[in-house]
Copies of this chain bind each other. A is one copy, B any other.
Amino acid sequence: MTYCVALKLDNSLIFMSDTRTNAGIDNISVVKKMFTWSEPGERVITLMTAGNLATTQAVVSLLDERSKAPKDRNPNLMHVPTLFQAARLVGDTLKEVVSTSASGGPTSNSPFGATLIMGGQIAGMAPRLFLIYPEGNFVEATDDTPFFQTGETKYGRPIILRAFDPSMSDAEAIRLLCVSFDSTLKANLSVGMPLDSHIYETGSLREGRMFRINDTDPAFSQISTQWGHSLRTALDSLPEYPVPAKTS
């Protein structure tokens, strides 16, 4: 499994992904799931991957190769005119990899699919955020739901639903994501530290602040511990449900 979240704030795009990959519960590794392509002043595109690791690595390698190849190799991620075209390119690449793996040859019990989150900005245009399916099609984040999750989305979703606000600051958003990831890490062993993060500042058109949160990170630990206390305090301060008295 995996857990990735992207938030579209008023002034930034924020990405966070875990780094655990597993082939069975007895075979786990640390793998980066967040990738950024940028040409300062012109475009920044960040991709987060969830799903079959062979598939996602192939997709990233293909996108990467094509973006570095001679200019005539079009379309490529560094030259598509819009983020919509970028999402289509990524979707087509994903579909191509999945189809190649799935057709002919030996079959596998584990699916070849992957789900990707792609966001960024191209000069002169607004920042955009897309969720790309294994079938190659995709949806875009809107003002009604300006965030996407992939992988093990459920444990960490209620707090995002309750507390996310596009006007929050970057630091507040990172704190919210720490809490959302903390709930997920506590509940699903296939989501694991460290966490990768990228804060892209809207309009900057260059890579933003990128950092990794390790399992020994004192700030993360403090947020996790204090969140546990705060939840219990919050629960204690709720009105009690008036349980009916026993009638018989």
Binding site for B on A (CB under 8 A): 154-159, 161-163, 170-172, 174-176, 178-179, 183, 186-187, 199, 206-209, 211, 213, 219-220, 222-223, 226-228, 230-246, 248
A176 to B242, CA, bound (A): 13
Nearest CB of B to A168, in Å: 10
- Cβ–Cβ < 8 Å partners of A199 in chain B: 243
Q: A186-B158, A207-B248 are in contact. Are A238 and B227 (CB under 8 A)?
A: yes
CB-nearest residue of chain B relative to A211?
A: B244
B234 with A172: CB separation less than 8 A: no
Nearest CB of B to A199, in Å: 7
Nearest CB of B to A173, in Å: 10
Copies of this protein, total: 2
| A-B pairs, 6 with minimum CB distance | A154-B154, A230-B234, A158-B183, A171-B240, A174-B241, A211-B244
CB-nearest residue of chain B relative to A224?
A: B238
CB-nearest residue of chain B relative to A170?
A: B243
